[in-house]
Amino acid sequence: MIAQLKGEVAEISGNSVVLMVGGVGYRVNVMPETIEEIRKSGNKVISLKTHLAVRETSLDLYGFLNADELEFFEMLISISGIGPKSGLAILSVADVSTLKTAVSSGDSSYLTKVSGIGRKSAGKIILELKDKLGAIDSKSDSALMRDEIETLEALQALGYSTREAREAMKKISKTATNSGERIKEALKILGKQE
């Protein structure tokens, strides 16, 4: 099993990178956020935690910058009907702590935004992961989840797509403590992109 790769980025193509490790190029499927981090850092040499998905017709590597992302990805793909591509798409929706809070509180809204994940599949993910994640349900996590949902809904009401809203929400600073501040900051971020 290939658990980790450290090498020079030879190519970035779509949602994958080619890492040169000991003269061998490994194509690793990653989240768009990972590609963005690689580009921002400017480092040619990176290290990725990896999961090797073995199928009859292919061997596919999936890479993550940290162990939390890999662990959550492996929990997701352990669920019947959730493949590696769906797992990667779910992780692209929000950060791991937000997804864990959503699952533990039974909020399927983050999961149903992923293409191919409907209410039934989202319910199955929540049911199967809730016990594995344990009780994360603290008051601060619940309040944060409410703020996230309110921010998302407000941005959508202003005409932004779910994807645009979520991308902006990922860039909101941790100092924004309530939904009003989060909405203002997200609007500034979205305004700079136009």
CATH of the domain at 185: 1.10.8
Give the domain-ending residue among 48, 64, 80.
64
- Alpha-carbon distance 63 to 30, whole Å? 5
Note whether 81 and 129 are same-domain residues.
yes
- Residue at 131: amino acid letter: D
Mean pLDDT of the chain: 85
> Regarding predicted confidence, which is higher, 122 or 167?
122
Task: State which H helix or E strand residue 128 sits in.
Answer: helix 119-133
Question: Strand (E) positions, the chain?
Answer: 4-13, 16-21, 24-29, 45-54, 59-64
Which of 86, 116, 133 is where one domain is finished? 133
| Domain match, 96 and 152 both | no
Statement to judge: residues 73 and 117 lie in one domain:
yes
Q: How confident is the model at residue 116 (pLDDT cuts 50, 70, 90)?
A: confident
Would you say residue 112 has pLDDT above 80?
Answer: yes
Handedness of CA 148, 115, 35, 79 (dihedral sign): positive
Spacing of C-alpha 158 from chain mean position? 24
Residue 54, beta-bridge partner list: 59
Rounded CA-CA distance 135/49 in Å is 26
- Amino acid found at 59: L
Structural domain span for residue 111: 68-133
Shared-domain flag, residues 54 and 109: no
CA separation, residue 156 to residues 90, 94, 146, 163 (Å): 19, 16, 15, 10
What confidence tier does 139 reach under pLDDT thresholds 50, 70, 90?
Answer: very low
pLDDT band at 48 (very low <50, low <70, confident <90, very high): very high
Q: What is the pLDDT of residue 85?
A: 92
Q: Are residues 60 and 72 in the same domain?
A: no
Q: In this prediction, what percent of the chain has a pLDDT beyond 90?
A: 38
Q: How many domains does the chain have?
A: 3
Note whether 57 and 43 are same-domain residues. Answer: yes
CATH code (residue 78): 1.10.150.20
Confidence of residue 131 (pLDDT cuts 50, 70, 90): confident
